[in-house]
Amino acid sequence: MGFKKSQKLYEKGLVNLVGAVNSPVRAFTSVGGNPLFIKRGRGSQIIDVDGNKYVDLVLSYGPMILGHRHKKVQKAVHKALKNGYSFGASTENEITLAKIVCDAFPGMDKVRFVNSGTEAVLSGVRLARAYTGKDKIIKFSGCYHGHQDSLLVAAGSGLATLSIPGSKGVPKEAVKNTLIATYNDLDSVKKHFEEHSDIAGVIIEPVGGNMGVVIPQNGFLKELKDFLHTKGALLIADEVMTGFRSKFGGAQELLGAEADITCLGKVIGGGFPVGAYGARNEIMECVAPLGGMYQAGTLSGNPIAMAGGISTLKELKRQNPYEKFSHIGERIETILLHAGKKYNVDVTVNRFGSMMNPFFTKVAVTNFAQAQTSDTSKFAIFFWEMIKNGVFLPPSQFEAWFLSSAISEEDISKIENAVDKSFQKIQESQ
């Protein structure tokens, strides 16, 4: 398997693109080597510019839940393109998709479409502050909520305890109202409420996806919601990654907690740039033009993205692949654990719905600090061996893998073969 054309494109891209990429994780910094350039995809697979074919477990970090270029989505998008690309005015499909989304989330009466997950989250946080009249927001170390200033702290980085900006260019003042708690530790949340009286709410990924897959333990999400209710604070669920990934709706429902504000992205556009935030009427009526919280976007509710989202969600509901996802996820987990035992490599596997990933550690991973015990040098070896054996993974230990409904028995066999060879390579390096 060669990567000569990807190498040439990388070198060419360095001239006019920052690091030859448009998102840092694509740069392969944590695994070494240069990024791969993808040419096309179909179903469960993608092909790079060198002609190498991969089972895709990245799936654009979640939204390609039906696989690439699903025929019904393709047809809907082509039809929408014939009418125009963007109008800066309302279209009927915005209403259609809004109803599909609101019907899928108990407690969501209204939704506002935006253009990205980052925009959805920053708007959701602003809404929580507008509704409560309070300023401070609690987030959890290891949870990533987009690149907005106020939440770019302890965001899947090493800045796990203090409100120190996680990026140059973010002033300390921007994160002064951001408090950091430990995932799966309700006491760390309660401590902040003991020390501060102006907390508007808590934002959380119902299932962590940016420190690897980390699952709430022992009713943590429900207990968090119940506690916040006693304090008059809101629960903001960032379901940009988890939305429609474990059921038709949100992971929050499976975990026994109804969020006050839900932020969505990725999958509700079928692969096109889209995001959304929604809540019950009394909260959403704070948003302009009904209320005083201003948020706007010329391309919000873009007709092409709406068409992609409607067709994706309708087909997803028809397929109802969630039992299949659970079964396949369990099989891949068994494959990983078996390989670890066979080659004497420490590995822990976390999975929820159609999201999963291994950690190269012997400890159970329930928070960011435990995720950081994973041996990232072993992951780098694992990553490249998986690539060389035809399986495309996120180039970071701390990113979730995703399943599509297009995955086949042949794909699973290919994954099993690649895992075996990858763990063998790790053993040889020990």
Catalytic residue positions, numbered: 144, 238, 266
CB 379 within 8 A of CB 419: no
Q: CA–CA distance from 192 to each of 163, 198, 217 (Å)?
A: 13, 10, 21
Q: What is the DSSP string of 319-369?
A: H-THHHHHHHHHHHHHHHHHHHHHTT---EEEEETTEEEEESSSS---SHH
CA proximity to 216, closest of 184, 259, 243: 184
Beta carbons of 390 and 412 less than 8 angstroms apart: no
3-class DSSP state of 404: coil
Q: Which residues of 318-352 are buried (b: 16+ CB within 10 A; e: fewer)?
A: eeebbeebbebbeebeebbeebbeebebebbbbbb
Answer whether the bond into residue 206 is a cis peptide, omega within 30°: no
With tokens 């290919």, the residue in question is 414
User: Which amino acid appears at position 422 of this protein?
Assistant: S
Q: What angle is formed at CA 365 by the lines to CA 246 and CA 212, rounded to 5 degrees?
A: 55
Closest Cα to residue 141, out of 369, 420, 388, 320?
369
Distance, in Å, from the CA atom of 319 to the CA atom of 314, rounded to the nearest integer, reads: 9
Q: DSSP state, 175?
A: G
Residues in the chain: 430
β-sheet bridge partners, residue 402: 355
Q: How far is CA 63 from CA 13, 117, 142, 265, 413, in A?
A: 26, 12, 21, 8, 24
Nearest alpha carbon to residue 170 among 156, 155, 151, 157: 151
Asked whether 20 and 14 are in contact (CB, 8 A), the reply is: yes
273, 116 contact by CB (below 8 A)? yes
Tokens of 415: 């994954």
**How far is it, in rounded angstroms, from Cα 120 to Cα 267?**
13
